[in-house]
Chain A
Amino acid sequence: MKPVVIRGGRVIDPASGRDERTDLVIEGGTVAGFGRNQGTPEGAEILDASGCVVAPGFVDLHVHLREPGREDVETIETGARAAVAGGFTSVCAMPNTDPVTDNQAAVGFIIAQARRAGTARVYPIGAVSLGSRGEQMSEFGELVTAGAVAVSDDGKPVATAHLMRAALEYAQSFGIPVVDHCEEHTLSRGGAMHEGLTSTRLGVTGIPRSSEDVIVARDILLAELTGGHVHLAHCSTAGAVRMVREAKARGVRVTAEVTPHHLALTDAACEGYNTNAKMNPPLREAPDVEALRAGLADGTIDCIATDHAPHHYDAKEAAFDDAPFGVVGLETALGVALADLVERGVLDLPALVDRLTARPASIFHLPGGTLRPGAAADVVVFDPASRWTVEPATFFSKSRNTPFAGRALVGRVRWTLVDGRVVHGRAS
């Protein structure tokens, strides 16, 4: 494998506290060292990163790659390709495929497909319950042995408090978190967007904040009871932030993620019945967005995850009630975060990189997320000042369902490397 030198960029590696203008030298697919004194290895490929940020490849704890089952909207190959286009070198695939990832063979299939695709690392998340039906627990031990890094019934909440308690207890033998999609169905049933003035005006059934908050409260209490680690997916409410902050202060093992769209948009995006602004949990109101940003800044919310959820054009080309929930996010996450968090002063650049790399990696105990010498050379090089307009037609993802179409974003990925190999961007 050819050595690579990434020259003259601002290297930001929160895990090792590094933030300096220097060269990054990669040999044998791993980080060899930094600085001119490393010399240029013979035959090295030189990437000119002047003006760019050089960071560990981003880690996304929450994507839907739709394979197996809905290869018409995304495959592991296209999803992983979209990931590296967005600077993500590790993504964690939710198990709500068809069939559900609830056994070791299904886990093995995802790993094999990802290896064949040869771009981003894909870590499978196993189902908490067989078929994610909320009844019998799946075999966490078998799932972990095959390569699963967490368990979740995402798309749905862990169905009962008893199942959640059992999962949080049982998962401790394997050191994995239980990831929950917090939604009380009896409160959200029939809902298609946030319950508030906008839903009242549009005549769309609302999903109240309490639908999320009730399950966040349940999960925190059960994590406290069991000593297990619960990870709350896609937090959307000010109440969730408040409860997580309070629980962390008491030492409860709870971690939480937030999506770029919940950090950037409100339910106003649903005006005109825009089905590309329909997702679950729904876009909330300005005070929620503020609370989520503050929570991300102060560490209450640990990381950014995209909840990349591809859907077919036809499915979203429908009346609002009839369209499916979900938006794609891998290729816009960085641009949204830079435009809506860094430019607005919510986070500085190193903090943003932290929330996209070291933090998420540590939650699922993944090996990536750092540029320490000896670590696998999973690297993203991005220009933090470059402005661009979102054109869904240019996505590597098979799907185009983004609420950011036509929006001006900041920051473009120049190169993405996995194991020291350029998997996105033109070699110079």
Chain B
Amino acid sequence: MSPGPNLGKDLLGLEYLAAGDIRLLLDTAEPFKEVSERAIKKVPALRGKTIVNLFFEASTRTRISFEFAEKRLSADTVNVASVGSSVSKGETLVDTAKNLEAMRIDMVVIRHPSSGAARFLAERIESNVINAGDGKHEHPTQGLLDLLTIRDHRPIEGAKVCIVGDVLHSRVARSNIWGLLKLGAEVAVCGPQSLLPMGIEDIGVRVFRRVEEAIAWADVLNVLRLQLERMQSGYIPSLREYYRVFGVTEERLARAPRELLILHPGPMNRGVEIDSRVADGPHSVILRQVTNGVAVRMAVLYLLAGGRPELAEAAKGGGAGGER
């Protein structure tokens, strides 16, 4: 399959994309937003293409979002949910790659617990590989949908975006940081130092150790999910204290000098990293993120499959039985 313009064969991470490519992906997502609003949500852009959704890690929303994106583009899809077997994950991955190649599929969407797994696969097969989250490395389509959601509300360039929470273990944080920096946003992270990665300042990111300071500074908060196991492994003392010190609450937001846009990649731990009143409040765009996720993934699939960006508008118009 021929690669999309400038994008290369695969989508492995936003770190590896130029600002122009990221804008192209976001712009291409715009016309696809509308497809999901139709009565018959299908266009023939990827008819005859076969896509494998290869999930080595539990995922509900990302997998479903990709699947909707694929089906709404008329691709043939297969879901493989592979949990770790007795053989090591690495061996499974090599063999999986070879087997997929042998079946002459067109695209692979991969979610894997090891950082670099998507690249590993991409280097070994000719099909397009889309990273749906690899370890703590990147989750580029999440980064893109977060960018698209911010862009729906305000220009990204010059926006002050703070990512709050467990940045250390977060692939969402890394994709957001790269995407936001490339599009000219100011980026900060906030959380207990034990959950912030080494050297993060050297990437060009500000660090806040108190959430109040982050709220006073930011235009946008992207609140990360706090994995419950971080407490057992000794990064933080308790979830209760985490909420008390780092939780994004209505009271804290009320003291902000301006109205903040609130994002969360989900699934949320209500009452841990985010107050329900904030999650359900007027500034939350959390469900908009989910809606945008399908459009962004349609854009990624369409462009990697060789679709021309200027034809995305036309492609959506050629729906099988849709409005013409």
Contacts and interface: CB of A to CB of B under 8 A. Distances in A.
Interface string B139-178: 0000000000000000000000000000000010010000
B138 interface: yes
Interface string A295-332: 00000000000000000001101111111000000000
A322 B171 CA distance: 18
Interface of A: 195-197, 199-206, 208, 272-273, 314-315, 317-323
A325 to B, nearest CB: 14
Given A203-B171, A314-B94, A319-B114, A196 B198 contact: yes
Nearest to A321: B114
Nearest to B93: A319
Contacts of B134: 203
Interface stretch (B40-48, B83-91, B239-247, B251-259): B83-91
B198 A197 contact: yes
Q: Max chain B CB contacts within 10 Å: which of A201, A319, A320, A321?
A: A319
A321 B135 contact: yes
B202 interface: yes
Interface in B84-123: 88-91, 93-94, 112-117, 119-120
Given A201-B15, A203-B137, A195 B198 contact: yes
Contacts, number: 79
A318 B97 CA distance: 11
Contacts of A196: 198-199
B200 interface: yes
Given A203-B137, A205-B136, A314-B91, A319 B198 contact: no
B272 to A, nearest CB: 23
B197 A200 contact: yes
Contacts of A314: 91, 94
Contacts of B197: 199-200
Nearest to A315: B90
Given A319-B117, A320-B116, 4 more contacts: A200-B197, A201-B15, A203-B116, A319-B89
B54 to A, nearest CB: 13
Nearest to B138: A203
A202 B137 contact: yes
Nearest to B119: A273
Contacts of B116: 202-204, 273, 319-321
B90 A317 contact: yes
A319 B112 contact: yes
A317 B203 CA distance: 30
B135 A317 contact: no
Q: Max chain A CB contacts within 10 Å: which of B113, B114, B171?
A: B114
